[in-house]
């Protein structure tokens, strides 16, 4: 059963928070909604959960309408699991009692064991209280609790953001495995684009209360609908470019075009990812001077400035041992691998200004 | 993210606020009923001038003295290397366990010549300085020590740090504590009556005893109510936009202690003297007299204990029931409206107990004679007088039960009502119990409203103590005094634990 | 949310309800049957009376204790709604107040017959149940016998400044003022009160006044006699250093105040209430006065005063009809001069 959100809008008082949201989440898939803080993504999740009601639009699960004008299924009858940012574990209940909270009495103990195993929770934790658990364990208990009643959909609200880096990755992997094994339809919201891209089958981008793009992680990362989305999904190198036959000319020389989203604008910018750019001994096509080198353990961030008509700042993260010969002031050659996405220059203004400084 | 409260909740809260404002309504109605000319005749007398100057003087002198004593002892026990800090931190809160009128009776029995403004100041500041000490202690514990360290690195000496960094951050604690002390000073009856210090409250009780709830008591009540409102206004102005809030995050590490050096003996001496004056002096005679008590009195004492327990229990339950909707509204649906409604509560409960009692006598007699002299009316008075104790505790408790827990329960298929019963109420229980205990113990010590409103035949510890002490029957009063002190200890321990636990 | 709150409110209010009814039960006993006495007499004396009365008749009595003025004004404010059956005072102005409001039922003639006419009002709406005499208590170390005032009226002269005390907020003292008012008129009374305001130290009640004289805080004070005898009988802790001076000579300061008892018209237990009043004025009640802890003067049943009290007749008190004493006017005068 697909989760379908169509034309949903929501305001708090006079402040519009969500504007005409449309999203389809296929049964059994995992979709991540990514956006910066305050963009409205948590509100969308709470609308799906039923904690608040939309002003306009409809939310349905398969043929069941959950929320439509004048019709609202309350949260407890939606069969939608919810994992809050801090886990929201009941502090007065043990792990087992937390997990079994939403499950009918019959078969509860059995189900608690199942979901604890599913979420890789050691059975000995069952009698502990939430404050006796680590942050990662708390989040897995929260997921186990949400999965125990076999919901059709599970919603995850930034469930990993409170964890430290190492723990975050391990917990995320464990959660993804558990969700995969249970086959539950999942919607995750996050502000971390890496998390969004690695989470599952779909990514939806939210900016200021709208969902301008959704699709597979590859398409959203590789073919962002706008410069804003491109920048939200990862570091960008934006190059003022001149359209020529079979490509564009830029500070990095001639680049092929993967996608043209310039809409025929006269003046365009070419977006490439830093990972596409590499240093080379050959400086015949593009020369750049080294402006700074900063070592961060095994890697180094090299700040470069292209020479030529439109000097552009590019910062590359390279293995440290590749950068030992680079001194500030040295000149290096750059090559580009793969093509660019074109946008109207007018849409890139703010990013270009940043770069020219 | 706030949602709007349900209509029913709003209606409940509005009805409760209106109920709480009955004493305010009484004051306004009395003003109108008596009329300007008679009011002027009643108030433009030398006697009222004396009362006014006494009342204002005890406020102007008493509040600063309690602030100095309270902040000083809090700073010494929390921020210096004072030997025996732990011991002194408890000594400084101990006077709260001795009701001011018991302390005054103790003092009067040791030094019969204590009287007037000086006597009032002595007894009242010693009884009330813990009311400033506790919030100051809580704030000092929560202060981020890096602020002081920064000041030190900017070249400030200890004294300058205290004045320019620490004290300014104590502003809210000082204002809040000072407000409570001021309201207590306005409402105090027993402590002042013993030592022949006349304020509006003592004069209202005398007027009540002379003419019952007539115009002369009411006219003095109007002035007293005005004084309370002025005190509230001054505090609100001084506080500005700052709010009292419980700081959630504890200081990451304890602050570096200030070295007292040669001043340590002086500090120990000061704290020991204050502690002795506030607890040992008043209690010594009470304890001594209790050995002279006629054992037959124990039967009466037992009866008074039962009556006191029943009355204060019903006050506690009532206060919880009344405070819960407002606490809920304030924590779950903060808005301008909820702040206005909360303000209504705080005005009502800032009125001295004697006015609340006068209002309830008048209102029940004229509007609801069936309620006159019933437990229900005393309970109502206790609710109005002690509501802030319940409200503050319940609000803090509710704030610690995040709404997300209820949502989690709903997402797990529990209807909202069940979600609250199974999640919020169990988690709120400690706060409910604490609120109930604080109100019950306050009610057990209450004197003025109980004297005026208690059902015929009711004898509480406080009224029995008062009746014996009024006829200078020291041995007769002593067991009641000791019972009142013993009863107060748990409440004080609870307050102290709350203060310490909150920030560490 | 609303539902929870409503449920919680219901639950809690029902708990409160239970507490209330329990409490009422405990406090008022078999409340329908018990006599409610608004008692301005000394609590301990009233309890002695009640104990004996209940032992004799099996009738339960509950006391609401307070002062003369408070309870009399309360009765007037309560009117017919009052739950009181009987009203007892220490002084007669409070009785007059209730009588003038028309709230008393006539006292059984048989009860009236127990009390000589001079100790009860002509109206027969209440009766005297005890008497007490004003006295001047003094500390011989501070005041020589030769310096004693010959009349209470002397105390207003500047020579007495700082030398005496009294408790003008109490009904006892106000009754003495009412005697001054009745014998000297309002202007002289106002002058006397002004003198008092200048000269006297104000205490909360008679006991505190006596204690202050005993401790030497002040040389003398106006009180009623029995406080001194009671204290002296139990060891004299608050009176050992003092002596009593009777003004006599029909001086207003020799005033004998009549304590009253009456039955409320609104009483639903009027038979029992009359029975209680008859008990007080009769031999049993008066014997408790005469032999018990009180040291007040019995007025009925020919019961003698307790040793070592001088006889009531020997005090040479001014002759004043108790029903003529005006409480409210006295309070107005006291308020005008600023003693209240």
- C-alpha distances out from residue A47 to A20, A55, A64, B158, Å: 13, 10, 15, 54
What is residue C27's predicted lDDT score, i.e. its pLDDT? 38
How many angstroms separate the CA of residue C202 from the nearest CA in chain B? 8
Residues of C with Cβ-Cβ distance to B321 under 8 angstroms: 8-9, 12-13, 16
Per the CB < 8 Å rule, is A146 touching B411? yes
Nearest to B307 by CA among B444, B199, B109, B425: B444
Token pair listed for B346: 């705080």
**pLDDT tens-place string over residues C173-190:** 988 999 999 999 999 999
For each of the domains in chain C, give its residue range(s) and CATH number, in order of start: 3-130+258-309 (3.40.190.10), 132-255+326-336 (3.40.190.10)
**Chain C positions in Cβ-Cβ contact with residue B6 (cut-off 8 Å):** 1-2
Query: pLDDT tens for residues B131-165?
Result: 999 889 888 887 776 667 666 666 677 777 788 77
Touching C (3+ Cβ pairs <8 A), the chains are B
Closest CA to C144 of C245, C217, C252, C247: C245
Q: Do chains C and A touch (3 or more CB pairs under 8 A)?
A: no
Q: Does the structure show a pLDDT above 60 at C1?
A: no
Query: What's the rounded mean pLDDT across residues B242-246?
Result: 53
A8–chain B nearest CA distance, Å: 18
Name the token pair of B82.
Answer: 């004072």
Instruction: Note whether B438 and B386 are within 8 A (CB).
Output: yes
Of B67-76, C120-129, C285-294, least confident by mean pLDDT is: C285-294
Q: Where in chain B is the domain with CATH 1.10.3720.10?
A: 1-41+291-504, 45-290
Query: Does the pLDDT of residue A354 top 70, yes or no?
Result: no
pLDDT at B244: 56
Predicted pLDDT at B253? 54
What is the chain B residue with the closest CA to C202?
B196
Residues C262-294 as b/e (b if ≥16 CB within 10 A, e otherwise) read bbbbbbebbebbbbbbbbbbbebbbebbbeebb
What is the pLDDT at residue A355?
45
Task: Tell me which range, A170-174, B89-93, B398-402, is most confidently predicted by mean pLDDT.
Answer: B89-93
Compute the distance between CA of residue A312 and CA of residue B348 in angstroms, rounded to an integer. 68
**Confidence band (pLDDT; 50, 70, 90) for B255?**
low
Do A88 and B402 contact (CB within 8 A), yes or no? yes
Local structure of residue B258 (DSSP, 8 states): B
Determine the average pLDDT of the residues in C130-146. 94
The 10 Å Cβ neighbour count of residue A266 is: 9
Instruction: Answer whether B411 sits within 8 Å of A91, measured CB to CB.
Output: no
Q: Domain B45-290 has what CATH class? A: mainly alpha
Q: Is the pLDDT of residue A210 over 90?
A: yes
pLDDT at B365 over 80: yes
For chain C, percent of residues with pLDDT exceeding 70: 91
Query: Of the segments B119-128, C11-20, C198-207, which one has the largest average pLDDT value?
Result: B119-128
For B160, what's the count of Cα atoms within 13 Å in the CB-facing half-sphere?
9
8 Å CB contact of C26 and B375: no
Angle at B19 between CA B17 and CA B21, to 5 degrees: 70
CATH superfamily to which B1-41+291-504 belongs:
MetI-like (1.10.3720.10)
Q: What is the mean pLDDT of residues A97-116?
A: 91
Which residues in chain B have Cβ-Cβ distances shorter than 8 Å to A51?
Answer: 407, 410
| Cβ neighbours of B350 (radius 10 Å) | 22
Q: What is the pLDDT of residue B145?
A: 67
Flag whether pLDDT at B98 surpasses 80.
yes
pTM: 0.78
pLDDT given at position A357 = 39
Taking residue B415's Cβ as centre, other Cβ atoms within 10 Å add up to 15
Residue-wise pLDDT for B420-465, tens only, equals 888 888 888 888 988 898 898 889 889 889 988 988 888 899 999 9
Chain A CB contacts of B409 below 8 Å: 76, 90, 101-102
- Model confidence at C260, in pLDDT bands (50, 70, 90)? very high
Q: Which residue of C has its CA nearest to B111?
A: C215
Q: What is the ipTM of this complex?
A: 0.75
Q: How far is B463 from chain C (nearest CA, A)?
A: 11
Q: How far, in Å, CA of A32 to CA of A202, rounded?
A: 6
Contact A145 B402 (CB under 8 A): no
Greater pLDDT, B145 or B109: B109
Burial of B346 (0-12, 13-18, 19+ CB in 10 A): middle
**Would the CB atoms of B209 and C74 count as touching at under 8 Å?**
no
pLDDT digits (tens, 9 = 90+) for C21-49: 333 333 333 345 799 999 999 888 999 99
Give chain C's mean pLDDT: 86
CB C174 within 8 A of CB C327: yes
Residues of B in contact with A102 (CB under 8 A): 409, 411-414
Interface contact flag, B408 A79, Cβ < 8 Å: no
Which chain B residues are closer than 8 Å to C338 by Cβ? Answer: 45-47, 50
Query: Vertex A104, ends A102 and A105: CA angle to 5°?
Result: 120
Chains that touch B (3 or more CB pairs under 8 A): A, C
- pLDDT value at B289 more than 90: no
How many pairs of residues across B and C have Cβ atoms under 8 Å apart? Answer: 158
Ordered strands of the A71-72 beta sheet: A15-25, A3-12, A56-61, A64-68, A71-72
For the stretch A113-124, pLDDT in tens is: 999 998 889 999
Cβ distance C19 to B470 less than 8 Å, yes or no, reads no
Which residues in chain A have their CB less than 8 angstroms from residue B412's CB?
A: 76, 81, 101-102, 145-146, 148-149
Model confidence at A353, in pLDDT bands (50, 70, 90)? very low
The sign of the dihedral angle between the CA atoms of B63, B65, B68, B74 is: negative
Name the residue in chain A with its Cα closest to that of B415.
Answer: A76
**How close does chain B come to A145, measured CA to CA in Å?**
8
Looking at per-residue pLDDT, the higher value among C266 and B456 belongs to: C266
How far apart, in whole angstroms, are the C-alpha atoms of residue C68 and residue C73?
Answer: 8
Mean pLDDT of B280-290: 89
From C334, which residue of chain B is nearest by alpha-carbon distance? B47
Q: Given this model, what pLDDT does residue B58 score?
A: 96
Q: In chain B, what percentage of residues exceed pLDDT 90? A: 32
The pLDDT of residue B406 is 85
Cα nearest neighbour of C7 on chain B: B417
B interface test, pick of A12, A14, A53, A76 with most B CB neighbours within 10 Å: A76
Integer Cα distance of B374 and B364 in angstroms: 10
């Amino acid at each position: 059963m697909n989760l379908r959100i169509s034309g949903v809008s929501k305001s708090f008082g006079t402040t519009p928070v969500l504007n005409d949201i449309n999203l389809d989440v296929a049964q059994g898939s995992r979709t991540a909604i990514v956006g910066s803080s305050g963009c409205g993504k948590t509100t969308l999740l709470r609308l799906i959960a039923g904690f608040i009601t939309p002003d306009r639009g409809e939310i349905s699960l398969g043929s069941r309408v959950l929320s439509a004008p004048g019709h609202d299924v309350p949260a407890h009858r939606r069969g939608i699991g919810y994992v809050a940012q801090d886990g929201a574990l009941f502090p007065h209940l043990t792990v087992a009692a937390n997990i079994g909270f939403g499950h009918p009495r019959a078969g509860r103990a059995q189900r608690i064991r199942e979901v604890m195993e599913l979420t890789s929770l050691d059975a000995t934790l069952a009698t502990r209280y939430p404050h006796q658990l680590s942050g990662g364990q708390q989040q897995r208990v929260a997921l186990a609790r949400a999965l125990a009643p076999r919901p059709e959909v599970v919603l995850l609200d930034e469930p990993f953001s409170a964890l430290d880096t190492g723990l975050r990755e391990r917990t995320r992997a464990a959660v993804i495995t558990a969700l995969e094994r249970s086959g539950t339809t999942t919607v995750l919201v996050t502000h971390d684009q890496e998390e969004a891209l690695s989470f599952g089958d779909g990514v939806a981008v939210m900016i200021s209360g709208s969902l301008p793009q959704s699709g597979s992680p590859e398409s959203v990362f590789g073919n962002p609908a706008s410069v804003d989305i491109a920048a939200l999904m990862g570091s960008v190198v934006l190059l003022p470019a001149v359209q020529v036959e079979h490509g564009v000319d830029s500070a990095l020389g001639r680049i092929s075009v993967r996608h043209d989203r310039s809409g025929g604008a006269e003046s365009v910018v070419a977006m490439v990812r830093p990972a596409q750019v590499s240093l080379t001994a050959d400086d015949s096509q593009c020369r750049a001077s080294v402006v700074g080198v900063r070592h961060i353990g095994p890697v180094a961030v090299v700040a470069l400035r292209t020479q030529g008509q439109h000097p552009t700042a590019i910062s590359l993260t390279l293995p440290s041992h590749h950068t030992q010969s680079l001194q500030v002031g040295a000149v290096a050659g750059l090559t580009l691998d793969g093509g660019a996405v074109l946008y109207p220059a007018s849409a890139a203004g703010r990013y270009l200004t940043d770069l020219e400084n | 993210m706030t949602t709007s409260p349900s209509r029913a909740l709003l209606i409940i809260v509005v009805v409760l606020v209106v109920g709480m404002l009955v004493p305010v309504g009484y004051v306004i109605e009395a003003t109108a009923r008596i009329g300007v000319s008679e009011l002027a005749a009643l108030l433009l007398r030398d006697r009222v001038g004396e009362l006014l100057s006494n009342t204002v003087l005890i406020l102007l002198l008493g509040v600063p003295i309690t602030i100095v004593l309270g902040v000083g002892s809090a700073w010494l026990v929390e921020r210096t290397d004072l030997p025996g800090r732990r011991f002194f931190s408890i000594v400084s809160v101990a006077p709260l366990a001795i009701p001011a009128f018991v302390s005054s009776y103790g003092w009067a029995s040791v030094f019969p010549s204590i009287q007037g403004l000086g006597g009032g100041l002595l007894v009242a500041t010693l009884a009330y300085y813990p009311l400033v000490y506790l919030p100051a202690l809580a704030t000092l514990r929560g202060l981020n020590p890096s602020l002081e360290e920064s000041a030190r690195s900017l070249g400030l000496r200890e004294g300058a740090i205290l004045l320019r960094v620490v004290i300014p951050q104590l502003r809210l604690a000082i204002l809040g504590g000072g407000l409570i002390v001021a309201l207590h000073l306005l409402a105090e009856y027993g402590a002042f009556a013993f030592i022949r210090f006349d304020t509006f409250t003592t004069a209202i009780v005398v007027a009540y005893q002379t003419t019952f709830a007539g115009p002369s008591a009411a006219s003095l009540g109007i002035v007293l109510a005005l004084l309370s409102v002025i005190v509230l206004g001054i505090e609100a102005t001084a506080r500005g936009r700052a709010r009292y809030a419980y700081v959630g995050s504890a200081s990451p590490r304890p602050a570096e202690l200030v070295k007292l050096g040669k001043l340590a003996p002086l500090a120990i001496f000061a704290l020991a003297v204050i502690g002795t004056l506030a607890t040992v002096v008043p209690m010594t005679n009470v304890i001594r007299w209790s050995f002279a008590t006629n054992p037959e009195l124990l039967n009466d004492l037992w009866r008074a204990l039962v009556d006191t327990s029943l009355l204060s229990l019903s006050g506690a339950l009532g206060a919880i029931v009344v405070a819960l909707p407002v606490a809920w509204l304030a924590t779950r649906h903060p808005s301008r409206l909820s702040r206005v409604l909360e303000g209504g509560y705080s005005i009502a409960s800032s009125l001295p107990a004697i006015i609340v009692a006068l209002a309830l006598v008048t209102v029940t007699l004229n509007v609801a004679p069936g309620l006159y002299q019933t437990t229900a009316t005393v309970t109502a008075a206790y609710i109005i007088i002690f509501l802030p104790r319940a409200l503050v505790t319940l609000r803090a408790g509710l704030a610690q039960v995040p709404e997300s827990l209820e949502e989690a329960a709903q997402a797990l298929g529990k209807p909202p009502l069940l979600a609250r019963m199974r999640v919020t109420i169990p988690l709120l229980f400690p706060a409910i119990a604490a609120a109930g205990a604080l109100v019950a113990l306050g009610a057990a010590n209450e004197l003025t409203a109980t004297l005026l409103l208690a059902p015929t035949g009711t004898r509480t510890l406080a009224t029995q103590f008062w009746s014996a002490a009024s006829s200078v029957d020291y041995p007769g009063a002593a067991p009641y005094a000791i019972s009142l002190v013993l009863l107060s200890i748990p409440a004080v321990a609870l307050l102290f634990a709350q203060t310490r636990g909150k920030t560490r | 949310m609303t539902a929870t709150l409503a449920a919680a409110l219901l639950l809690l209010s029902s708990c409160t309800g239970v507490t209330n009814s329990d409490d009422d039960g405990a406090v008022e006993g078999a409340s329908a049957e018990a006599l409610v006495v608004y008692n301005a007499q000394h609590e301990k004396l009233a309890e002695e009376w009640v104990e004996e009365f209940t032992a004799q008749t099996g009738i339960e009595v509950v006391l609401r204790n307070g002062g003369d003025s408070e309870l009399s004004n309360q009765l007037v404010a309560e009117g017919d709604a009052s739950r009181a059956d009987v009203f007892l005072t220490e002084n007669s102005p409070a009785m007059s107040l209730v009588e003038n409001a028309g709230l008393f039922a006539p006292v059984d003639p048989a009860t009236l017959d127990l009390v000589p006419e001079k100790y009860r009002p002509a109206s027969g709406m209440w009766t005297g149940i005890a008497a007490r005499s004003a006295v001047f208590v003094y500390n011989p170390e501070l005041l020589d016998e030769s310096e004693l005032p010959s009349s209470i009226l002397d105390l207003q002269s500047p020579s007495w400044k700082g030398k005496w005390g009294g408790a003008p907020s109490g009904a006892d003292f106000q009754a003495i003022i009412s005697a001054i008012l009745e014998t000297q008129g309002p202007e002289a009374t106002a002058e006397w009160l002004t003198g008092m305001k200048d000269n006297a130290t104000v205490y909360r009640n008679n006991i505190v006044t006596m204690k202050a004289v005993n401790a030497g805080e002040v040389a003398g004070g106006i009180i009623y006699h029995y406080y001194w005898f009671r204290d002296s009988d139990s060891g004299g802790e608050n009176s050992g250093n003092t002596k009593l001076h009777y003004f006599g000579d029909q001086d207003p300061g020799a005033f004998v105040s009549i304590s009253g008892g009456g039955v409320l018209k609104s009483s639903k237990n009027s038979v029992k209430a009359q029975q209680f009043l008859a008990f007080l004025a009769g031999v049993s009640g008066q014997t408790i006065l005469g032999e018990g802890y009180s040291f007040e003067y019995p007025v009925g049943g020919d019961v003698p005063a307790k040793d070592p009290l001088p006889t009531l007749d020997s005090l040479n008190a001014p002759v004043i009809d108790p029903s003529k004493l005006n409480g409210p006017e006295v309070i107005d005068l006291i308020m005008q001069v600023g003693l209240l």
